[in-house]
Amino acid sequence: MTRPDQLRLLAVHAHPDDESSKGAATMAKYVAEGVRVMVATCTGGERGSVLNPAMDRPEVWERLPQIRVEEMARAREILGVEQEFLGFVDSGLPEGDPLPPLPEGCFALVPLEEAAAPLVALIRRFKPHVLTTYDERGGYPHPDHIKTHEVSMYAFDAAGDPDRYPELGEPWQPSKLYYHMSFTLPRTKALHEAILATGAESPYTEWLANWDPARDISHRVTTRVPCGEYFSVRDAALIAHATQIDPLGRWFACPIETQQQIWPTEDYELARSLIDAPKPEDDLFAGLRSEVGVR
Ligand SMILES: [Zn+2]
């Protein structure tokens, strides 16, 4: 199944559509270079809403979970990746004051050891050299995103340990783990200013006004992967998630050519590494290519 001389990347995400908004151009670039890329989607996105006004119709709401599976299949084809659902149920984004309790049986409530098991099994089967996931705040505070972070960290350690989950296959230890760092203050500001310079209105104005600089994460970036050539693939994959993404919305407010000029990378923090490689990096496989025998 896995070739010893092939690099492999496993991107762990919470919901269908997250893979297209975080690290999608990076994945498309690596696929084009011959890397095997797998997306693990922890939940089915069952409790998501319809966020695209053009799709806000009763017949869409009626079969939303099935539609999200179909959208994921289209995005997977566009990105050229492999993809598996890990089988957990979306926790929903609790809203209100006080917050309502999480729904019974949802991903965020599954005990960690049990919640990490499908990912451990996938790591042992797919044998990735590199994992990507969300930071300790989930990138944004959705309970499923925070759980995705926890499960990823747990599985990164457990997958290589022969004493843990012995029933789930031969141990495999990934070498590196990265957090997505794409939504930083400097990048958002740069996009915002570029939009204003064209005379258009920026969809980031309110977002930036409420952005506490103390919560910026840009100083944590260790790795910038040049992937501007693949921004159009990223956007096509996003649009494939038609119930979640409004093609007239803020994702597409800044023209691709402008993004390629002002911010042609997707950015990451190297959170765990078992190998030595000088930082800053421009490649998630930095330090691994000679070991694996691939250039
Ligand atoms: Zn999500």
Q: What is the pLDDT of residues 71-110, one digit of tens each?
A: 999 999 999 999 999 999 999 998 888 889 999 999 999 9
pLDDT band at residue 295 using 50, 70 and 90 as cut-offs: low
pLDDT above 90 (res 212): no
Q: What is the pLDDT of residues 248-259, one digit of tens each?
A: 888 888 999 999
Q: Is 157 annotated as a binding residue?
A: no
For ligand 1, the distance from its centroid to the CA atom of residue 216, given in whole angstroms, is 20
Distance CA 20, CA 27 (A): 9
Q: Using CA of residue 140, residue 142, residue 143, residue 144, what is the dihedral sign?
A: negative
Residue 14 Cα, ligand 1 centroid: separation in angstroms? 5
- CA 150 to centroid of ligand 1, rounded, Å: 15
Closest CA to 284 of 59, 133, 86: 133
Centroid of ligand 1 to alpha carbon of 234 (angstroms) = 16
Helix (H) or strand (E) holding 158: helix 143-158
SS3 label, residue 199: coil
Annotated ligand binding at 13? The verdict is: no
Give distance in angstroms: CA of 13 to centre of ligand 1: 7
Look at phi and psi of residue 176 and say left if phi exceeds 0, alpha if psi is from -120 to 50, else beta. beta
Q: How far apart are CA 72 and CA 18, in angstroms?
A: 10
| CB-neighbour burial class of residue 115 (10 A; exposed 0-12, middle 13-18, buried 19+) | buried
Model confidence band, residue 214 (pLDDT cutoffs 50, 70, 90): confident
Mean pLDDT (the chain, rounded): 94
Distance 278 CA to ligand 1 centre (A): 32
Contact of 23 with 224, CB cutoff 8 Å: no
Say what the pLDDT of residue 40 is: 98
**With contact defined as beta carbons under 8 Å apart, do 175 and 130 qualify?**
yes
**Rounded to the nearest whole angstrom, what is the distance from the C-alpha of residue 141 to the centroid of ligand 1?**
10
Where is average pLDDT lowest: 81-85, 110-114, 202-206? Answer: 202-206
State how far Cα 222 lies from the chain centre.
17
154-158 average pLDDT score: 98
pLDDT tier at 138, thresholds 50, 70, 90: confident
C-alpha–C-alpha distance, residues 154 and 161, integer Å:
11
1 — pLDDT class (breaks 50, 70, 90): low
Angle at 228 between CA 5 and CA 202, to 5 degrees: 145
149 is known to lie in a ligand binding site: no
Q: How remote is the CA of residue 16 from the centroid of ligand 1, in Å?
A: 7
CA 3–ligand 1 middle distance (angstroms): 31
Range of weakest confidence among 4-8, 40-44, 174-178: 4-8
Q: Tell me, in angstroms, the distance from the centre of ligand 1 to residue 135's CA.
A: 13
CA pair distance 215, 208, nearest whole angstrom: 12
CA of 95 to the centre of ligand 1 (A): 15
* Cα-to-centroid distance, 42 and ligand 1 (Å): 10
Q: Which range (90-94, 173-177, 291-295) has the least confidence?
A: 291-295
Distance 276 CA to ligand 1 centre (A): 32
Is residue 19 a contact partner of residue 11, using CB atoms and an 8 Å limit?
yes
User: What Cα–Cα distance (Å) separates residue 208 from each residue in 188, 193, 198, 258, 262?
Assistant: 8, 11, 18, 19, 18
Structure tokens at 162: 């022969």
Q: What percent of the chain has pLDDT over 90?
A: 83
